[in-house]
Chains A and B, each alone.
Chain A
Amino acid sequence: METKTVAVCMWSLGQGGLPVGTEEALTLGRKVASATGARLHLLVLGSLPDDCVETAGRFGVDDVDQIEDAALEAFSPDAYVEALAGYCQQESPALMIFSQAADTRVVAPRLAGRVGAGVVMNAVDVALGEGGGLQATASAYGGDTQMVYELSGAASYVVALSANALLPEPAEGGATQPGCRSIQVDLTGTNERIRVIEQARTEGPRLEDADIIVSGGRGLGGPENYKLIEQLAEALGGLAGASRPIVDEGWVDSSQQVGLTGKITRPALYLAAGISGASQHMAGCSAAKTIVAINKDPDAAIFRYASYGLVGDCLEILPELIRAARQ
């Protein structure tokens, strides 16, 4: 397979710095570009974040490409897909890498459908296979297994890299001085078909940004005991999260769900009380620096991920933790 360009795609929507996950995506992009003798591009939709070119250089990017258009100022799936498809037509990248997030979960597979590329989401790695073609490894069954996919049969591929799949590593040979190119794509004919009636509003701080998270699961016994999770979170200066079963039961709002289909978090401390440790849940917290588990069952899966474990009834231990944390 002849590989000419690997492009990492991102947009910051005027948020200042590079979005979370960009450095990880660049790390993967650098690895694939080196292995296949390709040039590494960083494609930015909309305005260029301040430190963008410098960071791109640190990660060994050859070219920073930018598509600027009024239609890209706010997130609009139709315009974004159109802009990316225009880029693919002009540059024919062999691989487009996205950092997986809610927006890219829509845009990446739509782009693949639009340009006839193959697509893999939830990727944890892309590497050269034995046959010389690219292979993508992605999590399946909520993280219980991983699947290796062979990427052949299409001229180009779109891959979304899971949050927390790898650690960012700047380019070994030192920083590059990427060239900056402006790419022109005509977006005048693009009309966003989805009309936003009520914008999503984050109320207060987000779990994704939290340094300390205390989460509860079914081991709490009932919704009335979730207040113990909130009290301990408050005592530790953190936020309260939840596992999917108690969200599905309606004990807490879905905005507090940590896991594959909820929030992907990366706190310094993740304390899980009464959570069994299903892979689906761990996909949302396994990047925590320190995981503490409290569970009655010493064989619970959660202890395989934890640095520290307390074996016991979380309903008895949580009030004591709240007391000790407040002292």
Chain B
Amino acid sequence: MRIVVCVKEVLDPDAVNNYALAGRLEIGEDGKSLTQTTIPRLMNGFDEQALEAALRLRDAGAEGRIGAVSVGPDAATILKHAAALGVDEIASVLMGEPSPDYHVVASLLAAYIRSSGDADLILCGRQASDDDQGVVPALICEALGMPLVTNARAIELAPAADEPTLRITRVTPDGDEVVEVPCPAVVTVSNELGEPRYPTAARKLAARRMKPEIITPEALALSPEALQPRVVAQRQFVPTVSGDCEFLPGETPAELADALIARLRQESVIS
């Protein structure tokens, strides 16, 4: 079984959140990029959990190779992190633009997977914490004609199946759902999967020597149509928040509580 995990480098969403809340988020001259160099770059958290899901499958006895692939200008750091966690192959599809259109990204990922020996399972984070779009997994599944299972919290090989089949516990608004899907399939992983592992020091050292396979878009011989962007970011801005909070008076917790309950009853918010 070959598992390919798609990973993306993002700006640390917590740092972005802190700057935004402090009203100090800076947007560059192009009107759309966040330019603060003090914001760390790291692997998208949901993608880290997708990697963890792949490693857990191997821990549970799934045989085969695990690869990690990223599309972007420079993915070496996050790919080495993936290597340190235990993946066997790392590949970087080079793109000049820092945030190419999702359609182009999905075309490149699908073409890479096809040209590198196909995959039985393609794992992705449920969405990237920068743009939150979460559409690349669906576009890959359509490009490769595979089924898509979203928001997995647990993935295992289904027992006693004739052909390789995955049993997946999905997070849904109505609670957990358990589904089975035959391989090959695209599966997205949600944060409910739980804490991803940390690389050991020895693994980190070994990973430093591992070089990602570099793939140019030209080498994937895609049609101009597949490389035609369809949704292009023009502008990014920080939306304004109303912010006219009335702070209720009170010297003690009891006074504060009484003031709130009285006000909510007065306004008929509660009975």
Residues of A within 8 A of B (CB): 77-78, 101-102, 105-106, 109-110, 112-114, 116-122, 129, 135-136, 138-154, 157, 193-203, 206, 208, 212, 236-237, 244, 247-248, 254-255, 260-261, 263, 268-269, 277-280, 289-290, 292-293, 298, 301, 303-313, 316-317, 319-321, 323-325, 327
Q: Are B234 and A310 in contact (CB under 8 A)?
A: no
Top 8 A-B pairs, shortest CB-CB distance: A113-B142, A118-B230, A320-B257, A109-B138, A109-B135, A198-B178, A144-B20, A193-B147
CB of A247, distance to nearest CB on chain B (Å): 8
Q: Are A151 and B133 in contact (CB under 8 A)?
A: no
Docked CA distance A255–B183 (Å): 28
Q: Which residues from A are CB-within-8-Å of B270?
A: 212, 236-237, 269, 325
Whether a CB of chain A sits under 8 angstroms from the CB of B246 is yes
Q: Are B256 and A317 in contact (CB under 8 A)?
A: yes
Whether a CB of chain A sits under 8 angstroms from the CB of B180 is yes
Whether a CB of chain A sits under 8 angstroms from the CB of B214 is no
Q: Which residues from B are CB-within-8-Å of A152?
A: 230, 232
Docked CA distance A31–B163 (Å): 50
Whether a CB of chain A sits under 8 angstroms from the CB of B264 is yes
Chain B contact residues: helix, strand, loop or mixed: mixed
Q: Knowing A196-B179, A236-B270, A308-B246 touch, does A113 contact B32 (C-beta < 8 A)? A: no
State which of A78, A278, A303, A325 has its C-beta within 8 Å of the C-beta of B245.
Answer: A303
Q: Are A308 and B245 in contact (CB under 8 A)?
A: yes
Q: Are A194 and B142 in contact (CB under 8 A)?
A: no
Q: Are B253 and A316 in contact (CB under 8 A)?
A: yes
State which of A119, A260, A323 has its C-beta within 8 Å of the C-beta of B132.
Answer: A260
Docked CA distance A144–B231 (Å): 20
Whether a CB of chain A sits under 8 angstroms from the CB of B76 is no
Docked CA distance A119–B106 (Å): 12
Q: Are B20 and A153 in contact (CB under 8 A)?
A: no
Q: Which of B84-92, B112-120, B123-131, B202-210 contacts A (4 or more CB under 8 A)?
A: B123-131
Q: Which of B1-9, B57-65, B67-75, B165-173 contacts A (4 or more CB under 8 A)?
A: B165-173
Q: Are A106 and B32 in contact (CB under 8 A)?
A: no
Other than the known A112-B103, A310-B260, A317-B256, what 11 A-B pairs have Cβ atoms closer than 8 Å?
A77-B148, A102-B151, A113-B138, A149-B234, A200-B177, A202-B175, A247-B191, A247-B192, A255-B175, A280-B17, A323-B257
Q: Which residues from A are CB-within-8-Å of B242?
A: 304-305
Per the CB 8 Å criterion, the residue count for chain B at the interface is 87
Tell me the nearest residue of chain B to A208, going by C-beta.
B173
CB of A322, distance to nearest CB on chain B (Å): 8
Docked CA distance A150–B233 (Å): 6
Q: Mark B146-188, 1 if CB is under 8 A from A, else 0.
A: 0111110100000000000001001111111111111001000
Q: Knowing A112-B135, A312-B253 touch, does A194 contact B234 (C-beta < 8 A)? A: no
Q: Are B177 and A292 in contact (CB under 8 A)?
A: no
Q: Knowing A110-B148, A142-B129 touch, does A293 contact B230 (C-beta < 8 A)? A: no
State which of B170, B179, B254 has its C-beta within 8 Å of the C-beta of A320.
Answer: B254
CB of A122, distance to nearest CB on chain B (Å): 6
Whether a CB of chain A sits under 8 angstroms from the CB of B96 is no
Q: Are B130 and A141 in contact (CB under 8 A)?
A: yes
Q: Are A141 and B16 in contact (CB under 8 A)?
A: yes
Q: Are A197 and B178 in contact (CB under 8 A)?
A: yes
Q: Knowing A113-B141, A236-B270, A292-B260 touch, does A122 contact B231 (C-beta < 8 A)? A: no
Q: Are B175 and A145 in contact (CB under 8 A)?
A: no
Q: Are B172 and A102 in contact (CB under 8 A)?
A: yes
CB of A117, distance to nearest CB on chain B (Å): 7
State which of B143, B147, B229, B235 has its C-beta within 8 Å of the C-beta of A78.
Answer: B147
Whether a CB of chain A sits under 8 angstroms from the CB of B222 is no
Docked CA distance A171–B79 (Å): 52
Docked CA distance A317–B236 (Å): 39
State which of A106, A149, A255 has its C-beta within 8 Å of the C-beta of B232.
Answer: A149
Tell me the nearest residue of chain B to A279, going by C-beta.
B17
Docked CA distance A114–B135 (Å): 13
Q: Are A151 and B245 in contact (CB under 8 A)?
A: no
Tell me the nearest residue of chain A to B14, going by C-beta.
A278
Q: Which residues from A are CB-within-8-Å of B137?
A: 109
Q: Knowing A109-B138, A307-B245 touch, does A290 contact B267 (C-beta < 8 A)? A: yes
